[in-house]
Amino acid sequence: MKVKKIYKYLMISFGALLLGSCTSTEVDAKFDENATERLSGRKKELNDLLLSSADGWKAVYYTDSTQLGGWTHLFKFLPKGEVDMASDFTKSDGNTDTGIYRSQYEMQMGSTVSLVFTTQNRIHLLSDAGNSPTAALLAKGYLGDFQFYYYGQKNGEIIFRTNRNGHFLRFVKATAQDWTDLAKNKPMIKSLNGDMFSPLFRLMETNDGTATHKFEFDYNTNARFGTAYSLEAGSQEAYDLAFAFTPTGIVSKLPVIVKGQELTNFIYDSATNNFVATGTNGVSATLKFTNAPPTVTDDYKLLLSGKGNPQIVVGYIAANLATAPTTSDYFRYLVSRLNASLAAGQSLSRIQMYFNTAANQTYINYQFVGKTAVNHIVTSSEDPVNKTIILTNLGWATGATAADVALLREIDNELTNPKGLYIKKESFRITYSNPIYTLASASSSFRMTTYQL
């Protein structure tokens, strides 16, 4: 009995101790106070850091360098939770606004301290899900963030980790020159993006000091991301390039490796409109525009006269092919100029090209809504070296007036330019099962997409 009583008393005492420990506000308050003090100290540390730089902070924000480039942001943090911000973000219309905008920010405490940009500003352009640079990122935007977890400071830099994907982002002290220079990124962006008058194709060429190697270069202007594929038979060499812009050119977070040298800094050469990354001992990598397709086909031979080819008709149909991705902006521009010159209710509806008809003729047939069609008779020859077909004037068909010829001159001059046309039978289809042929000028950014009819 004594043993049982002792055991009973021990259990009651142990329970009281547990109850006391669970309800001790002194211990809990002490623990919470330490956590709060620790976070409050970090919050003050970050806030003091952000306010300490006279010219603010600079960050080149790569949200995902496996598929996107980088965007330069400048921040000037002010008292009372305000921040002035600028960036070199380029909208889909090609406009790059480097103006300075003011918004709000907060230091928020959770498991750690975070910097949150609470009202709309330039940083939010990268986090807007409705603003997607590629089809793969539809409804995901640019994968950017506006909340950044504070990880500390090192060598004068503030280190953050993004909330959305856990990537590290570093703020470095900005200078007054950084704010002035940001607008100088715009001509670099424009030079790499090109415009409707720029050559249609891009190449990357590397030089290892003894030989030049060519790569087809596909570049997404909105994503600031490109991929270069070797054009040499049997080569699997390829590079991804994730670009951020500077006042003098572009920098890729992902290097081009030539003879063991990592090339990342491409300087703009205004004389050639090329971007050149230079190493040592003759090593370099160059990004350039070209009117010649990286891969030239022999498809033009199917259209040549006097070679025993059957009749082939290809046609641009405005209703279906005006928005085709292979229809160039320059071609669309010329069509819009033509339509603007027509009478009310009239417009260009088709451009059909007849090769090797039963009457052994080749001609260009221009069709309109609300206006009689016009035919331009031509003859075809080839440039076997450059692999182009050259259409040469033989005269306009009966019924074509001087006004018609003048109206069609800009487009017709492109189709009959002395340098010729590159012809390519494409592997894709648009709306219908008809094969697609593209006709690209060898001397301009003119490219027309057609169906085989």
Q: What is the DSSP string of 368-383?
A: EESS--EEEEEEEEEE
pLDDT of residue 21: 43
| Concatenated DSSP letters of 222-288 | TTTEEEEEE-STT---EEEEEEEEETTEEEEEEEEEETTEEEEEEEEETTTTEEEEE-STTEEEEEE
pLDDT reading at 29 higher than 70: no
- The verdict on residue 31 lying in a domain is no
pLDDT of residue 40: 85
pLDDT reading at 419 higher than 60: yes
Question: 311 with 371, same domain?
Answer: yes
CA proximity to 255, closest of 24, 65, 446, 54: 65
Q: Residue type for 40, please? A: S
Question: 334 with 434, same domain?
Answer: yes
Question: 209 with 148, same domain?
Answer: no
Question: 95 with 223, same domain?
Answer: no
- The verdict on residue 47 lying in a domain is no
Question: 283 with 314, same domain?
Answer: no
pLDDT of residue 31: 45
Question: 323 with 284, same domain?
Answer: no
- The verdict on residue 88 lying in a domain is yes
Question: 423 with 389, same domain?
Answer: yes
**pLDDT, tens only, 87-138:** 999 998 889 999 999 999 999 988 899 999 999 999 999 999 999 999 999 9
pLDDT reading at 28 higher than 90: no
Domain boundary among 150, 174, 198: 174
pLDDT of residue 23: 41
- The verdict on residue 43 lying in a domain is no
Question: The domain spanning residue 274 has which CATH number?
Answer: 2.40.128
Question: 102 with 235, same domain?
Answer: no
- The verdict on residue 304 lying in a domain is yes
pLDDT band at 39 (very low <50, low <70, confident <90, very high): confident
Domain boundary among 113, 140, 174: 174
pLDDT of residue 33: 56
- Overall domain count for the chain: 3
pLDDT band at 412 (very low <50, low <70, confident <90, very high): very high
Question: 280 with 310, same domain?
Answer: no
**Burial of 403 per CB tally in 10 Å (0-12, 13-18, 19+):** exposed
pLDDT of residue 18: 41
Range of the domain at 70: 52-174
- The verdict on residue 40 lying in a domain is no
pLDDT reading at 289 higher than 90: yes
Average pLDDT over residues 17-31: 41
pLDDT reading at 8 higher than 50: no
pLDDT averaged over the chain?
A: 92
% of the chain with per-residue pLDDT over 70:
92
Lowest mean pLDDT among 14-23, 243-252, 383-392: 14-23
User: Which pTM value belongs to this model?
Assistant: 0.84
